[in-house]
Chain A
């Protein structure tokens, strides 16, 4: 008899934890670089661009994994509003994983600067140079990054709530591969 899985597929878990580290690092790098005039500013920007593109690529892979594997169901006794919040926040996280790197890429394109991932690795521009477009994209990049940070905090709080307060299988389903037993 086919049953619902109790845990995420190993590849899904690997991508989750790898990207969790990358995204949190990315949010801290971004916040640090715009608040610094020291050499840290330059150093962090050189990390921020290739890391952002790596997150974009991994997010695409991860969406593929998401749609090709089965996810463990939410607990049946979870209040409806929490189930809805869980779904909405996951959609938001996936959307931001894709949108934030694209906004970063587009804003550099709009500034007319070459989009350099290293001293010689260059990406094509994805929007034409335009000052007003730059200002819009740059602000969207900043505000949505803060939204992502808040969503990540909510996600973290909810995961711990499942693990420590509700003591259901939700946190466990991302932590380990074997059913509890």
Chain B
């Protein structure tokens, strides 16, 4: 024990002075605690938080423990990326400079239920994780639609709210979605696309788009705004339509990949000055320069319940040096929302085997 110092002589405080001093301490401590509560959103119930974004998905889709809160049904794929070297002058990222970079990916259905029928939505998604030799990673979550319906996380949240079941009927308000689109004219390009979109019979014949914009950064520090597409080598047979049944996509993929590796070209579109970089609901005009950065080669599949992709959070802002996020507000919201979903589902991993049995029944 440290020796105690001798007590100094102090006149006692009057009751009023003591009260005042204790009150002053309470004010200081209360102010710090209050500032903290302000920052973490306690005083601001209107603020859109990652928790709210994921909660509304759970309200709309139900909770399926251990599964992703969106794009819940999917399959893992393993392969690699072969760089063409053509993107090298735009980005220092090793993935564009090394001949070969290993990839763990995931095809999925953009629905919240892991048991949704494959024909439920006309959109498919492909997420990829490139692991560079230097240990840095590039993670990207792409969709087969060319643009996002809306440009901000707030509008996305309102859209999800329009899809939420009403307590009285257990079904969404049939007028809510038309009303939402009525007040969101920015959705016009998406609505025009979705009118002609049909659920594809295969994951393999789809083009997958980054939808959000990013920057490539080269050795001299020059930044080039880009979006990218994974363009398939496989083409649909004329008149191909989705078959009957609800689980044809994974079967088709396994069948095709057993026959040989599947390939996509990574086409990177370079924005012109003035093209919207911060709004994923707006397409870029035709005629932009496109760079063929290389070939994605997928060689095998794994079930999502125990495959390598299961524990990967395909956060689009996990980027290597040489690729940067744009100021598209959806990118930050995806990153924040995915982190919340990832914590929920990784907390529920032990509940997955039961889900496996449930799926088999």
A interface, CB within 8 angstroms of B: 4, 6, 24, 27-28, 31-42, 71-78, 111-114, 116, 119-120, 122, 129-132, 134-135, 138-139, 149, 153, 156-157, 160-161, 164-169
Contact = CB atoms under 8 A, between A and B. Distances in A.
Contacts of A119: 319, 321, 324
A117 to B, nearest CB: 12
B311 A131 contact: yes
A74 B346 contact: no
Nearest to B342: A111
A153 B22 CA distance: 14
A33 B321 CA distance: 23
B48 A37 contact: yes
Given A72-B5, A122-B136, A37 B342 contact: no
B148 to A, nearest CB: 15
B15 interface: no
Point out which of B325, B333, B350 has the most chain A C-beta atoms below 10 A from its C-beta. Answer: B333
Contacts of A34: 40, 50
B343 A138 contact: yes
Interface in B121-138: 134-137
Contact of B135 (A32, A35, A114): A114
Given A37-B336, A41-B336, A119-B321, A168 B8 contact: yes
A89 to B, nearest CB: 14
Contacts of A28: 35-36, 39
B45 to A, nearest CB: 12
Given A119-B321, A131-B311, 4 more contacts: A24-B32, A76-B5, A120-B136, A165-B13
B313 A111 contact: yes
B32 to A, nearest CB: 6
B6 interface: yes
B347 A139 contact: yes
A114 B137 contact: yes
A135 to B, nearest CB: 4
Interface of B: 2-8, 10, 13, 18, 21-22, 24-25, 28-29, 32-33, 35-36, 39-41, 47-51, 53, 134-137, 153, 310-313, 315, 317-319, 321, 324-325, 327, 329, 331-333, 335-337, 342-343, 346-347, 349-350
Contacts, number: 148
Contact of A36 (B10, B33, B49, B343): B49
Contacts of A132: 346, 349-350
B18 A36 contact: no
B53 to A, nearest CB: 6
5 contacts: A37-B50, A111-B313, A113-B313, A113-B315, A168-B7
B5 A73 contact: yes
B335 A42 contact: yes
B128 to A, nearest CB: 14
A33 B39 CA distance: 9
Point out which of B18, B40, B49, B134 has the most chain A C-beta atoms below 10 A from its C-beta. Answer: B40
Contacts of B336: 33, 36-37, 41
Contacts of B18: 165
| 4 nearest CB pairs, A to B | A76-B4, A31-B40, A35-B41, A135-B346
B94 to A, nearest CB: 11
A35 B39 contact: yes
A119 B137 CA distance: 11
A28 B32 CA distance: 10
Given A131-B310, A132-B346, A169-B5, A157 B36 contact: no
Given A32-B40, A35-B39, A157 B311 contact: no
Nearest to B331: A42
Contacts of A167: 10
Contacts of B4: 73-78
A157 B24 CA distance: 10
Nearest to B344: A135
A42 B325 contact: yes
B5 A4 contact: yes
B7 A76 contact: yes
Contacts of A41: 50, 332-333, 335-336
A39 to B, nearest CB: 5
A131 B346 contact: yes
A35 B49 contact: yes
